[in-house]
Amino acid sequence: MPSMEYGRAASVTETLESRLVDSLGGSVSRRAVLGGLGVAGSAGLVGLGGGRAGAQSAGGDHEEDDHADHGNFGAVGEFSDAFDPHDFLTRFNTGREGSENVPQHTYEEDGRTVREFELTAVDTTVEIAPGIEFAAWAYNGQVPGPTLRAVEGDLIRVQFTNLSRHAHTIHPHLRNLNPRMDGIPQNGPGVLDTGESFTYEWIAQPAGVHLYHCHSLPLKEHIHRGLYGAIIVDPDPDRVRENPRRYVNSHGPVTDDFRDELVERARSLNHTVPENSAVNETVMVMNGFDTNFDGDNEVYAVNTRAFAYGVGSTDGKGNWESSETKRPIQIDREVPQRVYLVNAIEFDPINSFHTHSQFFDYYDHGTTLVSTHKTVDTVMQCQAQRGIIELDYSNHEPGLYMFHAHQSEFAELGWMSFFEVV
């Protein structure tokens, strides 16, 4: 792709980002940020945008909202804290791969695989736009929380400790058969106060992409502040072969050939099967941030960072500076793409995912091995809805392909991204 096209894309990203950061620094309402801009931008965007704002604090605790000068992350245009949204895309915690931020273990117990994780709730700050901090409550200090991955039938054991000033829980969107493990104030240990611990145990079921989050009250604040993450449960090919009807969303006959197709599909989704390396898998958690606590989001993103998958400094040939924190998601067009999509938005009834120049298959909740939407370029999700998106760029020319929320306001306030097909 000519470097000029990269330059135009970078300019649009920079202009939108600059306007967003400046508006947050000046406490301008979110709709004033839009300023009549179009989602994809135009030649008129180039050169727009006011002066660069310095680091700002967005959304401190209610009793500490006067800490507007908290922290200093330097110039707009670069992210500086430890969370890497590009690393998060493919960071699957399975219990077998150690991670500094997620102590984890895998072992056998009573004939079942146990995947054990240690999660903590902490008060922290996260950078949601270059130089803009948000006072978050977070699992293991990151938003979204770590992605947990298991195989259908495994036992997920979570050693949870609350190190926050507020009471928290972990509630799983799984088929949980024990009410003590539901992570709500009314059952089991209830909410955990500062310094308290509890061990949650959940059977990994059903297969699909799921959500975990805090269920303390007020619920909207505990979720909005950042206490959420994804749980991926891979289908067990043997279970699929034994009971294929459970994994389809139609009432037609299940022939031997169809059964074999379902088993192969399950194998491609199962991280313990070596062949599934032929698919590039990513996690995208759609979220938003109400920076002035008026019940209305001012910033939208995938994986917390506004415009993190936008176009930054590049040579136009797919090469990026090693320190660059803002860049497209680079994909090999010969490798199929799978996106585990989760909507963790608060204060807005729906969110969406839209691809330019591409159509995809969508599996709602990921609980079916047969697509629920075939050949679509836009899918909507309400809060806590999730699904699997599968894309194929094998016949596309190399270059930049945009994807974003098709609530145009969301896109202009941070939820606008690019795939770079190479």
DSSP string over 244-273:
GGGG-SS-S---HHHHHHHHHHHHHH-TTS
Cα 283 → chain centroid: 5
| pLDDT score recorded for residue 60 | 53
| pLDDT score recorded for residue 184 | 97
What does the H/E/C string look like for 317-363? CCCECCCCCCCCEEECCCCCEEEEEEECCCCCCEEEEEECCCCEEEE
| pLDDT score recorded for residue 35 | 42
| pLDDT score recorded for residue 99 | 75
| pLDDT score recorded for residue 373 | 97
pTM of the predicted protein model:
0.88
Helix (H, G, I), strand (E, B) or coil at 219: helix
Label the pairing between strands 208-213 and 228-234.
antiparallel
| pLDDT score recorded for residue 166 | 97
Helix (H, G, I), strand (E, B) or coil at 119: strand
Domains annotated on the chain, with CATH:
85-251 (2.60.40.420)
Burial zone of 121 (CB within 10 Å; 0-12 exposed, 13-18 middle, 19+ buried): buried
Q: CA 69 to CA 78: how far, in whole Å?
A: 18
pLDDT values of the chain reduced to their tens digit, one per residue, 422 residues: 456 788 888 888 888 888 998 888 754 444 444 443 444 433 333 322 333 233 455 655 444 443 333 222 222 344 556 789 999 999 999 998 777 789 999 999 999 999 999 999 999 999 999 889 999 999 999 999 999 999 999 999 999 999 999 999 999 999 999 999 999 999 999 999 999 999 999 999 999 999 999 999 999 999 999 999 999 999 999 999 999 999 998 888 999 999 999 999 999 999 999 866 689 999 999 999 999 989 999 999 999 999 999 988 777 676 776 556 789 999 999 999 999 999 999 999 999 999 999 999 999 999 999 999 999 999 999 999 999 999 999 999 999 999 999 999 999 999 999 999 99
| pLDDT score recorded for residue 321 | 65
Positive or negative, the Cα torsion across 217, 120, 164, 196?
A: positive
Q: CA 127 to CA 112: how far, in whole Å?
A: 40
| pLDDT score recorded for residue 51 | 31
Eight-state DSSP code of residue 231:
E
